[in-house]
Structures are given as C-alpha cells and as structure tokens.
Structure 1
C-alpha cells in the first residue's frame, strides 16, 4: 500500500563506538554484514563514515525504499546473528535511528542533540550540489566532448555528482561545519 506522505526512502543510521584495537575485527565484520543487507528487497545502498583523527566511532547509513523493507532487514535472522558478534568490539551498545529521505547527513552526534535548522541543512546541501552539478559537466565536456548532450553523458555526470556528494563532499562539509550546524548551548 502506498501512503501519500511517506518519504521516497528511509535511512537506518547506526553508530558504533569501537573499543581500542578492534578496528580490523570491525572492518571484517562490515565486509560480512554489508553484502547480506544488499540481498534484502528494497536495499538502496550503504555508506560507512569511518572515524577520523583517532576517533573510534563509525556511522553506517543503510538506505531502503520503504519502512517495511527496512524492518524486514532489522528483524532478520541474518542481521541478528551478525549483531550478536558486536559486543566484544564495541565500547557502548549500538545506537540506531531511522531517518526519512536525505536527512541522514544531518544526524546529531548524540540523541540529546537537536537536529540542525532546516535552513542550515538547505544551505549546506546547496553549497555541495550547486558547484558539483556545474563543475562535473564542465570537466567531462572538456575530457570527453562527445558526451555532451547524450544520455550516457548525463549518466556519467549524474554518477560523478552523486559519488562526490555521498563519498566526499557531504561527509567532509558536515564534519567541517558541525559546530555551526549544531552549536553547543
């Protein structure tokens, strides 16, 4: 059944704070669980935001096309078996949130923290999307002039913009602007 106000997708945001020295074990754990999630109906992709600057916190973003399909994954025996392996690697229990649409980029660091104001989310997203959608076509237009105005050229541009936004720009800019996005009171 289709509900008119449901988002086009839902994101499961999982935060894991690792014990010191457990990163190699955890990376192996990720290599096992991510392909299992991908086998489930409605799976749209996964992003792993790895710790930087000596931090020990991983954030995993798993997108599904609907809440029902996400629930099937969350309550699956496959996921439960993998999650049972976590306690020996984590400092604290995993933290899970569900976010509609693209709101996952602006997930507060802690459950008690407020989400950034919508106007700030808009400005950050625009600051990432606008230059990407202008520079990528310009770049490919110079490197592969035959791609301009073609379907495969549009696909190449879109794929590059999405990859830059998901893997580079949004993780970097939300980390860089975290104090502005959610100032400490």
Structure 2
C-alpha cells in the first residue's frame, strides 16, 4: 500500500516543517509494515510543496499508522505550518505515479525556435570565420569533414554551455508568458 501526503508549507515555516518531517519519518519507520518513504520538495507560488510517499506492506498496517495517536498528534502539531492542511491519497499498489504540481508546460515551440535561432545564427556566421586561421595552419583540419566536425562541435558547446542559458534567462518572461 502506498500513501501520498501533500503539504503546502507557509514560506516562513520551512525550517520548523523540515524538523517536524524528520521526526515524523523516524516515527513512521518504527511502525510495523513500513517499507519506505520518499520526499519530493518543490516550490509553488511562494509556498514550499512537500510530497511524501510512504509505503506499507499491507492496508491494515497502513491504516494502523493513519489511525495512530502519534500520527494524529503530529498532524495537529504541523497544522499551523501548513497553507492548506494534510492532503492524503491512498493507492493499493506499491508504485505511485504523480505529476509534480509545479511541473509547468514548456514554452510554445515557436518561441523556443525563435530563441534558438537568435543564438545559433550569429554563432554559425562567427565560428567558421574564427577557425579559419587554424584551418590555414593545419590543412588536414580544414578538410570538409574535419572542419565541419570542429565547427559543429564548437557551436554546440557554445550554445549548450554559454549562450542558451544566458538567452533563456534573458527571454524568460517572454518564454513563460501565457
């Protein structure tokens, strides 16, 4: 059995929540049938979203944890730190697939094309010109295949590691505007 718990934590309450969560995990691990826990941390609109996935060997053992006085006391303790309470989902399978609440849709492809074009066009004009002295110095490097490999590799590395991160930050507001 899998129990999914979602907590939206008020911004100023993250540190006390983290301490509460560590204590709660330690207590839950001591319950019969507990077979694991995973915690996913996200940020959503100024709030910290914690998704805890607890696994128990049987539904009776999971129910024993849910009905326990310790869990009820822990939930009462954490309530003031939460923006919208203790949200639970139960799944009879061991696996639990969920989409993070903050998983944003990517920008429209046409916007991605525009930014990519603006990054690659100047590089495709500049990089071959910058390599010309090396091609003159080493003629074997200036052959059709070697020169294309060197130029393409240079452009790809520059795009991925230098210019695309800068461009996506520069155009972030436009890319994410809906």
TM-score calculated relative to the size of structure 1: 0.50
Rg larger for: 2
Check conservation: 2:55, 2:94, Cα contact below 8 A.
no
In 1, the alpha carbon distance for the partners of 2:66 and 2:78 equals: 15
* Gapped regions of structure 1 (runs ≥ 5): 1-9, 110-185
1:68-147 correspondence to structure 2 within 5 Å: 68-106=60-98, 109=101
Name the one with the larger helix percent: 2
Does 2:11 correspond to 1:16?
A: no
CA distance in 2, matches of 1:43, 1:70: 8
Partner of 2:20: 29
How far the C-alpha of 1:19 sits from its partner, in A, is: 0.8
Please report how far the alpha carbon of residue 99 of structure 1 lies from its aligned counterpart in structure 2 after TM superposition.
1.3
User: RMSD of the alignment, in Å?
Assistant: 2.1
Q: Distance in 2 between matches of 1:12 and 1:21?
A: 27
* Number of aligned positions between the proteins: 101
Q: Which residue of 1 aligns with 2:56?
A: 64
Match of 2:109 in 1: none
Deviations 1:3-42 (A, max 9, x none): xxxxxxx110000001111110000001111111111110
Structure 2: 5+ residue stretches without partners = 102-178
- Counterpart of 2:41? 50
Q: Kindly state the Cα deviation for residue 103 of structure 1 after the two structures are TM-superposed.
A: 4.0
